[in-house]
Amino acid sequence: MTDTLISVDLSESPHTNENVHNRWHPDIPINVWVEPGDDFRIETYDWTGGQIKNDDDASDVRDVELQQVHYLSGPIGVKGAQPGDLLVVEILDIGAVEEMNWGFNGLFSKKNGGGFLTDHFPQAQKSIWDFDGMFTKSRHVPGVKYAGLIHPGLIGRLPDRAMLDMWNTRESKLVATNPNRVPPLAELPNTQSAHMGAMKGDAREKAAMEAARTVPPREHGGNCDIKDLSRGCKIYFPVYVDGAGLSMGDLHFSQGDGEITFCGAIEMAGWLHIKVEVIKDGMAKYGVKNPIFKPSQIKPVYDDYLIFEGISVDETGAQHYLDVNVAYRQACLNAIEYLKKFGYTGAQAYSILGTAPIQGHISGVVDIPNACATLWLPNDIFEWDMMPNANGPTKYLDGSVDMPMAPDL
Amino acid sequence: MTDTLISVDLSESPHTNENVHNRWHPDIPINVWVEPGDDFRIETYDWTGGQIKNDDDASDVRDVELQQVHYLSGPIGVKGAQPGDLLVVEILDIGAVEEMNWGFNGLFSKKNGGGFLTDHFPQAQKSIWDFDGMFTKSRHVPGVKYAGLIHPGLIGRLPDRAMLDMWNTRESKLVATNPNRVPPLAELPNTQSAHMGAMKGDAREKAAMEAARTVPPREHGGNCDIKDLSRGCKIYFPVYVDGAGLSMGDLHFSQGDGEITFCGAIEMAGWLHIKVEVIKDGMAKYGVKNPIFKPSQIKPVYDDYLIFEGISVDETGAQHYLDVNVAYRQACLNAIEYLKKFGYTGAQAYSILGTAPIQGHISGVVDIPNACATLWLPNDIFEWDMMPNANGPTKYLDGSVDMPMAPDL
Amino acid sequence: MTDTLISVDLSESPHTNENVHNRWHPDIPINVWVEPGDDFRIETYDWTGGQIKNDDDASDVRDVELQQVHYLSGPIGVKGAQPGDLLVVEILDIGAVEEMNWGFNGLFSKKNGGGFLTDHFPQAQKSIWDFDGMFTKSRHVPGVKYAGLIHPGLIGRLPDRAMLDMWNTRESKLVATNPNRVPPLAELPNTQSAHMGAMKGDAREKAAMEAARTVPPREHGGNCDIKDLSRGCKIYFPVYVDGAGLSMGDLHFSQGDGEITFCGAIEMAGWLHIKVEVIKDGMAKYGVKNPIFKPSQIKPVYDDYLIFEGISVDETGAQHYLDVNVAYRQACLNAIEYLKKFGYTGAQAYSILGTAPIQGHISGVVDIPNACATLWLPNDIFEWDMMPNANGPTKYLDGSVDMPMAPDL
Amino acid sequence: MTDTLISVDLSESPHTNENVHNRWHPDIPINVWVEPGDDFRIETYDWTGGQIKNDDDASDVRDVELQQVHYLSGPIGVKGAQPGDLLVVEILDIGAVEEMNWGFNGLFSKKNGGGFLTDHFPQAQKSIWDFDGMFTKSRHVPGVKYAGLIHPGLIGRLPDRAMLDMWNTRESKLVATNPNRVPPLAELPNTQSAHMGAMKGDAREKAAMEAARTVPPREHGGNCDIKDLSRGCKIYFPVYVDGAGLSMGDLHFSQGDGEITFCGAIEMAGWLHIKVEVIKDGMAKYGVKNPIFKPSQIKPVYDDYLIFEGISVDETGAQHYLDVNVAYRQACLNAIEYLKKFGYTGAQAYSILGTAPIQGHISGVVDIPNACATLWLPNDIFEWDMMPNANGPTKYLDGSVDMPMAPDL
């Protein structure tokens, strides 16, 4: 059997595990080493470290401590990998663990995390998704069933000092433009609940004060939330430190493009089986700054879509200039309105868009002043026929089942 | 044979054809009427009305008169269609015409149109693409060949008066925030080269002064530049005026998501074979504000991609807040750098991204402060192996062939 | 525009056209020559040369003269192609002609042609299929609509003398095992209605007496009836005579694997746009005896199938030894029974299996004594939901519409 | 976690496990019962019960005792299922077990099992395939790597007495036509190594004497070896006995259509996670005699094929009448010749055809006297470019690595 290089015990706090961390810093020590060509398994916590329960009460979503996220397994060292190389990571397989054969999707409170449509859904809500082998469905969102496209929401390598400094500098500058904003424009370093892996003592304290949060995607990949980084894909990562220092976590059973609900996919604990190789001096050879990847040949095939358009005119009717975010938000809102005609509540529809294998395309970005974005909703996730016809929609749901809500206190 | 309801003569000016127009206005008369259930053919000019030639001189791209665009064929009336209905348009087939069995892609001068990467490619350049049946290739961009996914870049219906007023109001407001900007923030009504269909005399003059330009996509669809509106798709359009008033044009042989080169796809003249039906009161029944559509089962299958990530940190290193446009621009620039390692010039790489069936995905929009966008480049369009390997890239091209450039005067 | 090298006039008999023939013989002169790398267009008759009409009377199917088939356009010479080379043929596009925007499917009388299920459907019946752009439907078979996967049922090269002799020898031997069988075991040379292209006089008479019929597929390709030889495919053909002598015809708008109705696909006249190249000495280099090909990236995507199994136990309950023909016949009969539960007549169901893009797979050929074959029926060709559910099938059709029948006289 | 209803211990003989059997008989008791709607896990032996080892010696393949096959896990009873119902089985997931993270492919000796090409490959050979997550490769067959399409080669339900009698009668009749043939025309009941599940004593002896071997597929499904019965598929099975009596085994990691090597796929032990439901009286409602199924949306996408044709003229040049078996054998032999040009040995090529996700299509079965079959070889399983080009094939392999052979004694 393939060796499991990092194990996690879901019944224990992630802070007890030295092969877990939730910040990016060059000094986090690499305790686990492999050779190029090796394949091995890694276990991971869910991104919150177990804060969300399989129940019908959304108060855990409302009260989640976001300073803890994301608990990553690693860093793993690859012998011989040096700055300037490309680290090739192949995801051979990925799955759930026996102790947690379910996942969660949360609409975060606008006061604690929010989401892409937080102005429309400002209160905490959650849905629980059970895994039936390769499929999932939810007692809170009837009538849908998806094939999993399981992927790590977050996979990256340790930054070197220069890169860390660059991150902190540019993000601080952004926050400084509106320092009192809620939510903030960026999450700056914050020692609360920092987990610095095997670091200890003063070195740990010092590093935690300057370590980058794991929230955004950056040059090293990180929290990209790309649904297509699934089993069978091959990723080419820039390397910044000796050994590369590869870490990963935030597994998703399924997610729509954009991860619009923020907590965002169907979040899960689990394991990955990966293989690593190195392309020496690959960054310069191929001109690679951000990761590139080849997606998998193994994927759920959904070829029957209903597509919603959105343009960059916002909910108030104001015209924005080629703004894809506004356009995609309108496409999402248009899809939600459509789903409501069939009986879904707004929260359920929002949760479907966040968790199903929807595609979000940048369709037009040059036709001033309107960007055009499209949201691709796969018809085959529904038990029912959801296409338009001359008779109008059938209201399949009566609203009696909804996602639990925990209003702000 | 199917009736051709609107014919165009490419050797004549579009202004001589009363079934062509290049502005949106409710008073443009509907001269061609069909019944729900009818199928018929429509011919169209290319979007510029023949301004670009099949030669190796880009001065026509530099000097293009953009006030003329887009020449649309229509409006077509569908009997019984009323405001509030959904007009269902099925594209049964679509193709090139014998007289113009080629198309063009242009990088517009920053001073006259620009494009998504105009700061990087400020001068006019063009490439000519020959059609070999269902495929295209270019003497200016060696080593690539695509299967066509022919689609109308622009298809929409006449607005009613209220909608036209709304468009003009909101776009004027935007322009007013920076009225002297070059290029402008939006293209406001402009009588130069306006073609108002069959309108004549004072009514024509008055309407031209207030008619909306066809440049942006809007609620009625319009210039969406969605590459998936190809043969076999079915579109559900909101209706605003009696008869719907359907017009279309700006055919593209192939285009990448975003149409980033602005002139942007492989632009062509051609014909469409379409069928129309009506869903009475469909806008309210289905909650439809913008068009929705079901894409075709007939499409080139490209399943082997190399994917480039971009985040919302711009070329200067400045951090933007969840800005998908910046992120996608970085993904595009990353892909261009990669292609240059194999010998393509920057302009050729840019032209490939604009014309090939690339996908542009909104991958993450909630992980502050970085949006993440991905550009999906299909490997199978290349004659050569373009995947990374341990040996580094092969330089297949020596730069001796490039796209003609016409520097600004 | 691309040159049309062979034109046909559907209002004239194919026998008036010297670039058409309906037999294989090395002496049929090559009148049309192209260079390697050329692309060009070819027009073709339907396989019967216009014997079947667009009406509701199946007597033309019953009375069809099969000695005439198949009318092929060619032979085309490729300069420099020599015996032992591979001729590379790329189908760039393919389509219907304006004068015949429809096709036909026939169940042949058991006494005149028959078909795979002729014991179950012994009488002549026909269905007419109208082409709506890329799609087809039939007034005789309600509730189905297919995207076309247009292909030449027959494409091959002239045999040399040795190959012709081999064909005649082996087929004669087979016929000799049961010379009075109706239908015969093979169609031996037969001068009735032979069309030898540009041959004249005694040479023509002599050649017609020994020329091979075009009915079966053979080493040179020929009447393979492979539905996937559609637009965008690339075929590598063995070459036996100088210039290769490429001919083609028997276009099908759509066909299921096996072409089980014999007349079998949706048969049509039309045109092909092809490109030719030569691989010198390719037969030996690649060990190629029969044609090989790369299918197209452009195809209707049908990914939602209902699959029927059949085993090699025949309709009487008799056990056959690993006989894929019996197994596939059972799979076909099983599918027909299923379709009848939804209201289709047997003939309609049979016609659907012959014309729709069904797949026929050889699933098991080693598990004695039963072969297992599977028939893949694409759900998306139906207007209705055809999947099993707890309530049982809905009878969508009342049998009032059927395919016209012409009983044997 | 999902309950595992049947466990197997690979270190113990399958004959010690009462929930395993290797014959079909109505009296095999159902010890494990579930409710409609339940989902559960089942473990299985490999089909030989562990006779083949992970080593480089093929004598175990040569000496395999075929009277033992196939070891099935079951029968499982579904409460309320009655004769005439359809049992709906959904394969939610399927995988390998930790103790056996590899599989085997064997070419059986012509004297002991044989295979589709046994006249060409009469000696026992084997290849071992390691599983890397969702992928497999073999130290005996370099240069190929497949994504798994894991499926049960064998899944069926207990026959009732009438069905068992019918099987025995028809198969005996076939054997009687040539009773001394080696290999036999069918495997008749045989008590040697029979495993009758929980049956004991005289009842066991009596039942073993009349129990059907599991070798062929039959009306109940059984050993269909359909590669598409993979994770995510939904099968509708006829029911013959109260409780249905569902059994399964013979897991394959990957297989080509036809399972031409007989031992034939990549054979493995493993587990299935399945869900069962019942459609009352479904056999009559839907006219179902053999199983029907809907394949999965989750599958490896291989869209780039090289296709080989074969016609029903055999290796000696003799003409057969519309014989798909002969045609497919020729297509296989053609593919093997092609692969040998790139350096593969014949045995390696044969093993690739048996184990890779190739498709075998029945392309033409009506064009007398030649059937036409096609073999679809996915290009993307190869490390190398295997397409024809003007330069001829590259010989990537020097023959130094081959599959171990154990000559007949």
Q: Spell out which chain A residues touch chain D, with contact meaning CB-CB distance below 8 angstroms.
A: 1-2, 39, 91-94, 98-99, 101, 132-135, 147, 231-232, 273, 275, 296-302, 380
B4-294 folds as: Jelly Rolls (2.60.120)
D125: tokens are: 């050979």
Q: What average pLDDT does the segment A19-41 reach?
A: 97
Name, in order, each residue with C-beta under 8 angstroms of B179's C-beta and a sequence gap of 6 or more.
none
Q: Which residue numbers of C have CB closer than 8 Å to B's CBs?
A: 1-2, 39, 91-94, 98-99, 101, 132-135, 147, 231-232, 273, 275, 296-302, 380
Contact (Cβ atoms closer than 8 angstroms) between residue C234 and residue C294: yes
Measured between alpha carbons, how far apart are the two ends of chain D, in Å? Answer: 50
CB contact under 8 A, B147 and C297: yes
* B299 with C302: Cβ contact below 8 A: no
> Which of B290, B316, B342, B377 has the highest number of chain A CBs within 10 A, making it the mutation to test binding with A?
B290
Contact B184, B175 (CB under 8 A): yes
CB pairs under 8 A between A and D: 72
pLDDT tens by residue, B38-58: 999 999 999 999 999 999 999
**Residue B144 to residues B60, B302, B384, D86: CA-CA distances in angstroms?**
24, 14, 9, 52
Which pLDDT tens digit goes with each residue over B187-217?
999 999 999 999 999 999 999 999 999 999 9
Q: Where are the alpha helices (DSSP H) in A211-323?
A: 282-286
In the block, residue with structure tokens 């599958």: D299
Strand partners of residue B249:
B72, B154
Structure tokens given for A253? 């059973």
pLDDT score of A1? 66
Chain C residues at the A interface, defined by Cβ less than 8 Å, are: 301, 303-304, 380, 385
Domain regions of chain A by residue span: 4-294, 305-404
The nearest CA of chain A is from the CA of D103 a distance in Å of: 13
pLDDT score of C300 = 86
Q: Which of C273, C297, C380 sits opposite B297 (nearest CB)?
A: C380
Residue type, C52: I
Q: Which chain D residues are closer than 8 Å to B389 by Cβ?
A: none
**B-contacting chains (≥3 CB pairs under 8 Å):** A, C, D
Chain B residues closer than 8 Å to C231 by CB: 133-134
**Residue owning tokens 């050569």:** B384
Nearest chain C CA: its distance from A143 CA (Å): 16
Give, for B285, the enclosing helix (H) or strand (E): helix B282-286
Output the pTM of the full model: 0.95
Contact A151, A225 (CB under 8 A): no
Question: Would you call B380 and D304 a contact, using CB atoms and an 8 Å cutoff?
Answer: yes
- Least CB-CB distance to B301: which of C134, C301, C380? C301
Residues of chain D contacting residue B304, judged by C-beta atoms under 8 Å apart: 304, 380
Do residue D311 and residue C216 have CB atoms under 8 angstroms apart?
yes
Chain A residues bordering chain C (beta-carbon distance below 8 Å): 301, 303-304, 380, 385
- By the 10 Å C-beta count (0-12 exposed, 13-18 middle, 19+ buried), D177 is classed as exposed
Topology of domain B305-403 in CATH is Endonuclease I-creI (3.10.28)
In this predicted model, what pLDDT tens digit does every residue of D302-324 receive, in sequence order?
A: 889 999 999 999 999 999 999 99
Contact C380 A304 (CB under 8 A): yes
- In sign, the C-alpha dihedral spanning A350, A150, A308, A216 is positive
Q: C1: pLDDT confidence band, cut at 50, 70 and 90? A: low
Confidence tier at D1 by pLDDT (50, 70, 90): low
- What distance in Å separates the CA atoms of residue C70 and residue C47, rounded to the nearest whole number? 5
For D133, left (φ over 0), alpha (ψ -120 to 50), or beta?
left
Kindly determine whether residue B322 and residue A325, on different chains, have CB atoms separated by under 8 Å.
Answer: yes
Across the interface, which of B282, B295, B325 has its CB nearest the CB of A365?
Answer: B325
Average pLDDT, chain D: 96
Nearest by CB to B338, from A183, A287, A294: name it. A287
Q: Read off φ and ψ for residue D323, nearest 5 degrees.
A: -105, 105
Average pLDDT, integer, range D176-181: 95
pLDDT, tens digit (0-9, with 9 covering 90-100), for C21-49 = 999 999 999 999 999 999 999 999 999 99
- Judging contacts by C-beta atoms under 8 Å, the chain C residues touching residue D281 are 392
Residue A297: which pLDDT band, with cuts at 50, 70 and 90?
Answer: confident
Task: With beta carbons under 8 A apart, name residues in chain D contacting C264.
Answer: 366
Is the ipTM above a cut-off of 0.90? yes
Q: How many residues make up chain C in this entry?
A: 409
User: B interface toward C at CB cutoff 8 Å?
Assistant: 1-2, 39, 91-94, 98-99, 101, 132-135, 147, 231-232, 273, 275, 296-302, 380
Nearest-CA distance A301 → chain D (Å): 5
Which residues in chain D have Cβ-Cβ distances shorter than 8 Å to B303?
301, 303
The distance in angstroms from the start CA to the end CA of chain A is: 50
| CB within 8 Å: B324 and A322 | no
Q: Using alpha carbons, list the distances in angstroms from residue A315 to A334, A380, B250, B363.
A: 11, 30, 29, 23
Distances D73 to A3, B136, C161, D224 between C-alpha atoms, Å: 29, 55, 60, 16
| Number of residues assigned to chain D | 409
> In sequence order, what are the residues at sequence separation of 6 or more whose Cβ sits closer than 8 angstroms to the Cβ of residue D372?
C217, C224, C225, C226, D309, D310, D311, D327, D363, D364
User: Using a CB-CB distance cutoff of 8 angstroms, which residues of chain B are in contact with residue A390?
Assistant: 279-280
Residue D304: list chain B partners with CB under 8 A. 304, 380
**Contact across the interface for D133 and A297, Cβ inside 8 Å:** no
User: Across chain B, which distance is largest between two alpha carbons, in Å?
Assistant: 70
Nearest CA in chain C to A302: C303
Chain-chain contact of C319 with D174 (C-beta, under 8 angstroms): yes
Contact criterion met (CB < 8 Å) for B258 and A362: yes
Task: Name residue B240's amino acid.
Answer: Y
How many angstroms separate the CA of residue B123 from the nearest CA in chain C?
32
Q: Is A305-404 CATH 3.40.1130?
A: no
Check residue B14 and give left, alpha or beta (phi > 0: left; psi -120 to 50: alpha): alpha
Residue B1's pLDDT is what? 66
Provide the total of helices (H) and of strands (E) in chain C, helices listed first. 6, 23
Q: What are phi and psi of D165, to 5 degrees?
A: -60, -40
How long a stretch of residues is chain A?
A: 409
Q: Which of D132, D134, D273 sits opposite A298 (nearest CB)?
A: D134
Give B42's contacts in chain C (Cβ within 8 Å): none
pLDDT at residue D104 is higher than 80? yes
The pLDDT mean for chain A works out to 96
For the record, the structure tokens of D185 come out as 């025309």
Residues D401, D404, D405, D409: what is their CA dihedral angle, to the nearest 10 degrees?
A: 140
Instruction: List beta partners, residue C132.
Output: C135
Task: Look up the CATH architecture of domain C305-396.
Answer: Roll (3.10)
Residue A214 CA to its chain's centroid (Å): 11
**D54, D227 in Cβ contact below 8 A?**
no
Q: With b meaning 16 or more CB within 10 Å and e meaning fewer, what string describes D22-57?
A: bbbbbbbbbebebebebbbbbbbbbbbbbbbeeeee
Residue C2: the pLDDT is: 86
Which residue in chain C is spatially nearest to D263 when comparing CA positions?
C366
- Which regions of chain B are under pLDDT 50? none
Q: Which residues of C touch B300 (CB under 8 A)?
A: 232, 297-298
Could you tell me how many CB contacts below 8 A there are between chain B and chain D? Answer: 7
Which of B298, B379, B382 is the best mutation test for C, with the most CBs of C within 10 A? B298
Question: Mean pLDDT, to the nearest integer, of C307-328?
Answer: 97
Chain A residues inside the 8 Å CB shell of D135: 92, 232
Q: Report phi then psi at C154, rounded to 5.
A: -135, 125
What chain A residue is nearest to D132 in terms of C-alpha separation?
A: A92
Minimal-distance CA residue of chain A relative to D41: A133
Q: Which residues of D touch B380 (CB under 8 A)?
A: 304
> Do B185 and A369 count as a contact with CB atoms less than 8 A apart?
yes
